[in-house]
């Protein structure tokens, strides 16, 4: 199904890189979802038996990119 801007109403939304986007982004709910997923990934990394150096690298490659995309979009 292709969606053009002509038939894209305010109720419809798309999901791009994990963030639901529409004419008006639900900032509060998206921020809560991002926070939950970030903390889940952080706990996952911190629960491993990696060395401190490798934990920092894992956080930088697994948890931080989740938030990086949202910085300019979600208030």
Q: Residue 9 — very low, low, confident or very high, per pLDDT cuts 50/70/90?
A: low
- Torsion angle of C-alpha atoms 45, 26, 28, 20, degrees rounded to 10: 0
The string of pLDDT tens digits covering residues 24-56 is: 556 678 788 888 989 999 999 999 999 999 999
Q: Name the more confident of 17 and 35.
A: 35
pLDDT at 7 over 70: no
Better-scored residue on pLDDT, 13 or 65 = 65
The predicted model gives 1-18 an average pLDDT of: 57
What's the pLDDT score for residue 61?
A: 92
- The answer to whether 66 and 42 are in contact (CB under 8 A) is no
């Amino acid at each position: 199904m292709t969606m053009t801007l002509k038939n894209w109403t305010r109720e419809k939304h798309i999901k791009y890189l994990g963030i639901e986007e529409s004419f008006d982004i639900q900032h509060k709910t998206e921020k809560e979802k991002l926070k939950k997923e970030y903390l889940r990934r952080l706990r996952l990394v911190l629960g491993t038996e990696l060395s401190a150096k490798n934990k920092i690298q894992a956080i930088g490659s697994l948890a931080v990119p989740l938030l990086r995309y949202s910085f300019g979009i979600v208030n």
